Amino acid sequence: MNPSNDRTDFAIIGGGPAGAVCAMALARAGADVCLIARDETGGKGVELISGRARRMLDHFVATNLWTRTGTIEITETVSLWGDERPRIWNAIRNPYGAGFAVERQGFDRALRVTAAGSGVRMFSGFNAQRAARSNGRWQIRLLSHNGTVELNAGQLVLATGRNARDLLGRTTSIRSERLAFTATVGSSSDAPRYAFHLELTERGWWYGLPHPIRGTFLGYCRARESQGRGRSSLASMFSRELSRTRLMRDLVCSNPEPLIVHGCVAGIGGGLPACGEGWAAVGDAAFAPDPLSGLGCEFAIASGLQAAKALLSGTRSTAMAEYEQTVEDFSGRHRQQRTEYYTE
C-alpha cells in the first residue's frame, strides 16, 4: 500500500540499512517520515555485520530482528594474507563480540518492516527521478509502474548507496580503482559454517562467508586495470582465479553448480558531501568504505543514527557540522588503514 499524503517532514531515498535506520530514528522522535525504496533491486548477496554493528542494532532495533532474516554467527576469522600458514583468531574476543553473516535482501527487508512498525510511511517500488528545492522545501518526483507521485518534503536524506543517481546536480558516481566479483557456490563437506575467510593472492584478494541459506558466498576483488578486455566470461575468470587460491578453493565442493557471477565497483570513494542546505547523505552515499574493512554496514548504521540526530537539530546547527566532520574523520582514517593493508 502506498500512502496518499504527499507532504512529509523527511523524505529518505534508499531502503538499505542506512536509510531504514535513519528513518526509524526520525520517526521515533515524532517526525513524519517517508522512506522510498525500490524493493528487491539492491542488497544482494551476503555481508558481514560486525560485532559493533550488531550491538548498535540490538540496542536500537527490535531484538527479534535476527529471527526475521537469514543469519549465521561468525565466531572465527581465518586469514592467509602473505603468510605461509593461515592465521586464526577468535571473533568472540572482539570487544563487541561476534558478528553475523547476513543474507542482504532478507536483512534489508526486515529493517524496512521494523521501520514501518515505527511509524515510517513506505513508498515501496518507487524510483526517485529528481529532487529540487523550492520555497525552502523539496519537490521530489517518484516513478513506479503505476505512474508518478510528487512528494513535498521539509528535509531530504540520501541513502542511495555507492552508485547514487545525481539527484542534486552534483557528480555522485564513484570511479574506483578496484572491482569486486561475487558468487554463491556449493560448500565442501569440510567448509566451516562459523568462519570468515580472507586470502591475498598475486592478482587480488578473496573473502568467503557461509551463506545463511545455501553454500558459501565468495568475493574476489582486483585492480580495475587487471580485468583486461578479453572475451573470457566472468564465470570463467572467477573459476580460473579461484583455482589459484590456497584457502578459498578448499571451501568449494568438487562439483559446483554453474556459477552466476556478479560484478560491481569496489575500493573506496566519496559520493556526496555529508550534508547541505536541507539535506544529508548517509551510508555509501556519504562515503563508501573498501570491502576489505568490513565496515560497510557498520558505517551505514552509525551514519544513519547520527544524521537523524543532526537533522532533528536543524540543518544549520552545530550538530550538522559535527556530523560532516565525523564523516570526514572516518574517511581519513579509513583511507590510511586501507593503504596499510595493500602495502603489507
Query: pLDDT tens, 81-133?
Result: 888 899 998 877 778 888 899 999 899 999 999 999 999 999 999 988 889 99
Nearest to 47 by CA among 35, 57, 61, 60: 57
Q: Does domain 178-265 have CATH number 3.30.565.10?
A: no
pLDDT attached to residue 40 = 57
Residue 35 contacts residue 26 (beta carbons within 8 Å): no
pLDDT attached to residue 25: 96
Closest among 114, 57, 79 to 297, alpha carbons compared? 57
Spatial contact of 9 and 138, defined as CB atoms under 8 Å apart = no
pTM, to two decimals? 0.90
Q: How far, in Å, CA of 169 to CA of 131, rounded?
A: 9
pLDDT for 258 equals 81
Could you confirm whether domain 7-43+102-174+269-343 is CATH 2.60.40.1120?
A: no
Q: What is the arrangement of strands in the sheet containing 204-210, beginning at the earlier edge strand?
A: 87-90, 76-80, 195-200, 204-210, 216-223, 178-185, 262-265
Q: How far is CA 82 from CA 85, 87, 215, 248, 342, in A?
A: 9, 10, 27, 14, 11
Break the chain into its structural domains and give their ranges: 7-43+102-174+269-343, 178-265
Do 140 and 156 meet the contact criterion of CB atoms below 8 Å apart?
yes
The secondary structure of residue 214, as a DSSP letter, is S
- Residues in the chain predicted with pLDDT less than 50, given as ranges, are 1-4, 41
Pairing relationship of beta strands 279-281 and 127-134 according to DSSP bridges: unpaired
User: For residue 235, what is the enclosing H or E element?
Assistant: helix 234-243
Pair 118, 33: CB distance under 8 Å: no
Taking the CA atoms of residue 174, residue 82, residue 182 and residue 128 in that order, the dihedral angle to the nearest 10 degrees is: -20
Q: What pLDDT sits at residue 1?
A: 41
Q: Tell me the three state secondary structure of residue 52.
A: helix
